[in-house]
Amino acid sequence: MAFFSKNVLALVGSIPFWIMGMTQVHAETMQESSLSTPSHEQVMIMRHDTEAILHYKLAPDVLPRLTATLQAIQKAGIRPPDHYGMSLDEQIRLVEKVKGLDRILRAHGFTARDFVTSLTCVGMTGSMMNALADQRNDSMKPDPENVALLRNNPQALHDLDQVVRAEKTMK
């Protein structure tokens, strides 16, 4: 279990922010740092996006496909722009506009929506699944099948982590 937890934490800490966008964690960080206070509408969008991501059903083969997709993106030299504070739909629209990315996503069985949501879901599920259950309300619990998928595939999660870390060092 220690191997798994270490890799999940490393992965969550290194997932590119151009995918992670505005999650509940980012919103709390923004509020704590007093950079800005999200409006009620922004908070509702963040909550909706977080719930949608945590309840998204990951495909059984998602980890190796995400790894291969990110490797292909890196090999193609595609540098998606860094943007913070975006809703899930805004992130997806941004990814759809990145020249050359659609072809890579399709080759690995993803739409922009599937890719963004899957990668974000892996990161958020990993970060939340070991949190104390009493610290989350029911809507903020990761999908149990997604938790099982991550727990049962530590090597695939490690491989994804390595590719994500390589992305960070290339910037």
Check residue 134 and give its pLDDT: 52
Is the separation of the CB atoms in 132 and 33 below 8 Å? no
Is the separation of the CB atoms in 32 and 25 below 8 Å? no
Check residue 102 and give its pLDDT: 94
Is the separation of the CB atoms in 150 and 159 below 8 Å? no
Is the separation of the CB atoms in 135 and 113 below 8 Å? no
> What digits encode the pLDDT tens for the residues 64-86?
999 999 999 999 998 766 666 78
- Determine whether 164 is exposed, middle or buried from the number of CB atoms within 10 Å of its CB (0-12, 13-18, 19+): buried
Distances (CA, A) of 58 to 29, 88, 124: 27, 16, 12
- Determine whether 72 is exposed, middle or buried from the number of CB atoms within 10 Å of its CB (0-12, 13-18, 19+): middle
Task: Please state, in angstroms and rounded to a whole number, the distance separating the CA atoms of residues 39 and 10.
Answer: 31
Question: Does pTM surpass 0.85?
Answer: no
Distances (CA, A) of 65 to 55, 59, 171: 20, 10, 22
CA angle in degrees (0–180, nearest 5) for 101-44-58: 45
Which stretches of the chain score pLDDT less than 70? 1-35, 80-84, 130-139, 168-171
Task: Please state, in angstroms and rounded to a whole number, the distance separating the CA atoms of residues 161 and 66.
Answer: 10
Is the separation of the CB atoms in 66 and 160 below 8 Å? yes
Q: Containing domain of residue 137, as a range?
A: 2-170
Check residue 1 and give its pLDDT: 38
Overall number of domains in the chain? 1
At position 135, the amino acid (one-letter code) is Q
Check residue 113 and give its pLDDT: 95
Is the separation of the CB atoms in 8 and 154 below 8 Å? no
